[in-house]
Chains A and B, each alone.
Chain A
């Protein structure tokens, strides 16, 4: 019997192309529009880093080192004080161990170029920056470290101004390197042994984590999730409208006269809302997977999150239905779909990542079922597992349960639906 009621609900939806469009077509259009229109906005907040960087060395380092060692020997200072010649290859270290090292190589594509290519690279927008090592850099640096005096040389960084976040990452890495050299100089001058390589490695690992925390998801990812949870709310008003139509047309009376329990009907609305929301979310995410390459690695956590959110939507559905039955009016459903949904979507971050504006707003957003769902999905996209999103899931399910309880209390008793 319950099955019949649910099947009928699905059939009604299926026969209603406008609602289908609202639940499935509209979100896809919105994902497209918003992810393109607001891509720039997203990028500054949570980019996925992939930098192309050009590397230009004006002079080979090893000759400079040789020259330095010879001069030292001439001065009677054993070059071993400064470690073996490999340790003196400052620039090679920066290039091979840092930029092309394990930590950064996934993010940075380093192309070693020739001097005559420089102009082309600077004109090429696909490059985020050009790192230029001046002539005599290593020699001059070694002079400073060994207290022979002279100007401290500097590496020049040309950045592509449009790639704000990228260029700042590059300059941060170089600053770090520069700081390390200073530290090394100091330690060296005070007779302390250093391992430049390790120091640099540790520093760049720090850099790496910092970048990771910058939420590497694309605007497509974000708006797929944002629109899915946003339009998921419309399932509640769609099914609610169907249900109040049943009351107005006295179909509900017919069901009651058929001696069917009103609670079975209540349950059928709850389950229909949940199932339809679940199917809708799956549809949207599948679509985004194939078309926008938005993919969740942890499928199980993704499914549990989807079920949790569907339960929250089911709860709203049955609450709207119960209230509309109680007051014999569909005004509440109109109000929900016309006003409340948009407010929830706004606070929940479906239009733009409003939570980044302030802690309080982020917190408030997570109190909405859609905001909570959005946070959970985004975290999963960033590689979090079930434990990391458990709080959101528990919140969404609890939210659904509270809705169901309030709905059951407001659902009219026998004979007062007319």
Chain B
């Protein structure tokens, strides 16, 4: 239904997106995953006709929309990465204003505003100024505004950044429900693996402007089928110990995060006994040591040698 064909975007010196191919089918939830600066927002902006690509084409229902964006614009609702609202206006005033921008009027507009308020759980707060809201409430309204005109496709750019766990699961549930009950197509950008893992049917993973993996969750996790992911937990680490792991010929990747070290090794080697004797040698109090089933996080680590966040 919606396609990016060999898209590149250059901002003066930086090539933010490099030959990206992407497609979105009716009724899917597609995840776009990547660390900061990966080019997600740039890709999303091209997809939603906000910026023109330096190269490549955007097609909606097989028609190019680069020069004629109107049909696509009517079909999409965009949730920007920023809280794109007027803080000095109330919930209702924001909804009414953007509703008018989407050319809704009169009783139709009022009705949609009520439905959205219900959907995002802010009916009680309709007269309150957005300025007085918590991060989670703002994020909910940010999403609500994008859905006023009942779009076929909802394009969300990191819609859960910086909010409390309740608001976050509320948003995830809502997105899932809209997809199930109303067959709403969703493009969901995030740097949280869990969100994408939970929501999405298919996933695109980007890093530094490049598409580094794509496919269904299962297909992507298959990438790690020839490798083991080993998790080690202990109270304190010893830098010599880490250096030794990094220098080990059978260990392809080492990632330290807090009290956990993640190692990627080929399936055929078994390092358990060796690791245990190493911890004894350095006096490390081991808490656990086990082989994990691969997560998307691990896939990213495998592909880039870096963790997704930080």
Contacts and interface: CB of A to CB of B under 8 A. Distances in A.
A11 interface: yes
B49 interface: yes
A8 interface: yes
Interface string A305-325: 000000000000000000000
Nearest to A13: B88
Contact of B84 (A1, A11, A16, A253): A253
B73 A250 contact: no
Interface string B80-102: 11111110110001000110111
Contacts of B49: 256-257
A76 interface: no
B78 interface: yes
A251 B85 contact: yes
Nearest to A256: B50
Nearest to A413: B52
Interface in B258-272: none
Interface in B84-136: 84-86, 88-89, 93, 97-98, 100-103, 129
A254 B101 CA distance: 9
A260 interface: yes
Contact of B101 (A260, A414, A418): A260
A191 interface: no
Interface string A375-418: 00000000000000000000000000000000000000011101
B156 interface: no
Interface residues of B, number: 31
A16 B87 CA distance: 11
Given A250-B81, A253-B80, A414 B100 contact: no
A255 B78 CA distance: 10
* Chain A interface category by residue count: 20 to 34
A8 B97 contact: yes
Nearest to B151: A257
B152 to A, nearest CB: 14
Contact of A257 (B76, B82, B83): B76
A4 B78 CA distance: 21
Contacts of B101: 1, 4, 254-255, 258, 260
B82 A250 contact: yes
A249 B80 CA distance: 9
A248 interface: yes
A249 B51 contact: no
A205 interface: no
B14 interface: no
In the complex, which of the residues B70, B84, B89 has the most CB atoms of chain A within 10 Å of its own CB atom? B84
B145 A249 contact: no
Contacts of B228: none
Contacts of A251: 84-86
List 7 A-B pairs, minimum CB-CB distance, nearest first: A415-B51, A15-B88, A250-B80, A258-B101, A259-B73, A250-B84, A415-B52
Given A250-B82, A253-B80, 20 more contacts: A8-B86, A8-B89, A11-B93, A12-B86, A249-B83, A249-B84, A250-B81, A251-B86, A254-B98, A254-B145, A256-B50, A257-B48, A257-B50, A257-B73, A258-B98, A259-B73, A415-B50, A415-B52, A416-B51, A418-B50
18 contacts: A1-B101, A1-B103, A4-B100, A8-B97, A12-B88, A12-B89, A249-B85, A251-B84, A253-B84, A254-B98, A254-B101, A255-B101, A256-B50, A257-B73, A257-B78, A258-B73, A258-B98, A418-B51
